[in-house]
Structure 1
């Protein structure tokens, strides 16, 4: 595929995204609720495609090809990352009757724990969004520079990012949902095409591939939970249950009409996302079968050097659709928190911002877009990835336990109890990093520290209640 044709396909893809946005621009949001969650009449299929599109990050394909050689343990690990959080969210979504009409996860936290929990949750998500979107933009730039060398990667990346910021600013939840559906269709079809092309290029039959895989020690079923690291593997799998649950995913529960739809939507999205992840793992497995002696650190570059021009075009379009569908959704959720949750938490200019929430959300999204572009073009991927790992390490112990307890019916009259739990989760993770890593052998202490958070909250609530009962005359 000539470079000019690949550039033409990229332009067609961007123009089609713009056309979809313009089609839904005619129905502008009349209030902030419609801007944030749409009209709440989305079909289940639409929300499923949007969830899957948002969950597929740009580096997914490269990771699948680079690390598939690790065997069945890595493949199962990636599958659990795709499936388990959405299954847990499906279970929680069916119980969110009291929260279904909220506009964000921080608002749900505020309804139970007060403004402090709302502010902390919103701040965590805004910071997380900045780093994740910066990574996606950086990958877009690298992808354009790799596959379309004659084009200016910086100019193309700024054009793509500007397009995403524009339709996220003015289209709101409706435009983002339907552009994500389009991008989901694109990468779903192209992923199947990629699997077929890599399979044909391998020159091996299905029987030969199966025999080769069976001969590799790391693909034995006993490696799902290796005997020499059972505790580490179990902790990793437990962390996958809740590691991806966050405001960006919970936001789609609020787009559903009722909890029953939220439960079905997250369940179907989990299955769909698992199929997409499994397809990517199959691509990585086929690449490993084709080049078994190539080291993992160079397998990505080696794969692209051996790929034909049409195959490179397919890879390019998959990565761009992954990145774009993640960026617009993340920016939209973060802008809601900047315009809705953070002002209500701290009270500054609350009345003024309430009267102009849609404008403030658009301005916040524009500022976030600029900030992420600056970070993407000036910070290496290694630094951004380390910051993201730090966030993931502390988010689950601090935020997830109070949210799950709130959904399950836990209520407290003191807003400081949630702060006690959050501080406990934070200190538990720091203690885990300092003392438990050398004992257990892994830094994945998300679930134990999250349980410490929830346990301390419940105990503190019980002691407070008993004190109030005993102090009554």
Structure 2
């Protein structure tokens, strides 16, 4: 090939991101709060773009292409993931007036349930960030190796990661917000261009494509909730509405000027992310129409093998912008937990860390980035995804019920919060041991979360009655 278009686009994309980062330095962070949240003067559009950018991971496009054949149940599943978690977060953010002065979700948990709840929440997020970032870096490496054969994929991936670490370390939330806006513009524009190119290359009219899809059995409305696994489907949809919410998303609420702005930003971000996810699903459906008899395990490779150089360049830029915008945000939030929330929960570290918070945050970000690179280059994507699924299995039952109750106004003791978290953990372990064989799914997030909330309500009532009687 006389010209590697993917490499050319990469050479244009990275310096453009560097220019955006340099523009963000016009107002530098002078303390830890400004480094963590920026100056809290972001426009609603900027917060929307940062939410969407960190919410859409690098594997979004390949998943849309490899799983589109599953039919209407998968399409609704994707729409659920895109819309409902951010709608729920929008509803919650309008009720977080008492938490607006906080720097993180663990700090909000601490204000209600004490330091142990803060420590548990922060550890969950750090662990999640390590796995998510490792997965994104591995996908970026594989993408570069597949779509830019003229370059050394390992060296290019290290260069991209170092670049992200530098602007996240020294630019903080402001630099990440600016670069995320740019990356959001890139992938949201190119995903529409990709959908149009695949449609034109299919050689079919829109009517023919719709008729072909309607003729497939898996796209019938009766398969939305199959009669043989209604309970499993309902549990999956409920879990998808809650599981994606985490400290990395809640962080954007604290970046807003007010809960009202955060509520609007989450609402608009839910609509925007649904459009992006729907576009990747449309690309997957078009690829399915072009290769209807190709097994899902090889359809991604077949799609790229038959793609033109311009199409490969577009795919490469979409995946890189997805991955980079997720990595910088997750690294930033993880470093905040390590420099602020975890030391605040451990008494012997409080005084020392407080004097050097900004330096500790930067060192922590670098340490997490190095750890994620080691994991990314030594474990395959399948292994990292299995670890992530294991984490998500326990996060919702342990963390989400106390957080939602705190936002809704519950004020109780540290003991009550710990009772709920332990109950959620034990409920999920019991679900995995006994309920999976009965219900047919390991997705017990919502029932176990409800057990957490019920245990907290009972513990709160008992302790309150005890104090009253005493």
TM-score range, shorter chain: over 0.9
Partner of 1:338: 338
- In 2, Cα distance between equivalents of 1:4 and 1:234: 47
The Cα shift of 1:354 comes to: 0.8
Instruction: Please state if 1:382 is matched with 2:350.
Output: no
Q: What pairs up with 1:171-250 in 2 under 5 angstroms?
A: 171-250=171-250
- In 2, Cα distance between equivalents of 1:424 and 1:36: 33
The Cα shift of 1:3 comes to: 4.6
Partner of 2:91: 91
User: TM-score scaled by structure 1?
Assistant: 0.98
1:245-284 alpha-carbon deviations (Å, 9 max, x no partner): 1000000000011111111100000000000000000000
- In 1, Cα distance between equivalents of 2:240 and 2:348: 37
The Cα shift of 1:4 comes to: 3.3
Partner of 2:30: 30
- In 2, Cα distance between equivalents of 1:194 and 1:4: 18
- In 2, Cα distance between equivalents of 1:377 and 1:153: 11
1:293-343 alpha-carbon deviations (Å, 9 max, x no partner): 111111000111111110011000000000000000000000001100000
* SS of 2:125 mapped into structure 1: helix
The Cα shift of 1:6 comes to: 2.3
Spell out structure 1 runs of 4+ moving beyond 4 A: none
The Cα shift of 1:385 comes to: 1.0
1:389-448 alpha-carbon deviations (Å, 9 max, x no partner): 110000000000000000000011x21211111110001001111111111111100000
- In 1, Cα distance between equivalents of 2:66 and 2:202: 17
- In 2, Cα distance between equivalents of 1:356 and 1:2: 52
Say if 1:208 and 1:30 are closer, same or farther in 2 by CA, change over 3 A: same
Q: What pairs up with 1:378-457 in 2 under 5 angstroms?
A: 378-412=378-412, 414-457=413-456
The Cα shift of 1:2 comes to: 5.0
The alignment's C-alpha RMSD in Å is 0.9
In the alignment, structure 2 segments of 5+ residues that lack a partner are none
> 1:86 touches 1:267 (CA, 8 Å); kept in 2?
yes
Partner of 1:368: 368
Partner of 1:315: 315
In the alignment, structure 1 segments of 5+ residues that lack a partner are none
> 2:140 touches 2:323 (CA, 8 Å); kept in 1?
yes
* SS of 1:28 mapped into structure 2: coil
Partner of 1:140: 140
- In 2, Cα distance between equivalents of 1:3 and 1:230: 52
User: TM-score scaled by structure 2?
Assistant: 0.99
| Worse-matched range after superposition: 119-128 or 25-34 | 25-34
| Worse-matched range after superposition: 95-104 or 221-230 | 221-230
Instruction: Please state if 1:458 is matched with 2:462.
Output: no
The Cα shift of 1:348 comes to: 2.5
Partner of 1:6: 6
- In 2, Cα distance between equivalents of 1:106 and 1:305: 46
Pairs aligned (count): 470
- In 2, Cα distance between equivalents of 1:459 and 1:114: 19
- In 2, Cα distance between equivalents of 1:135 and 1:229: 31
Partner of 1:270: 270
| Worse-matched range after superposition: 377-386 or 112-121 | 377-386
Partner of 2:52: 52
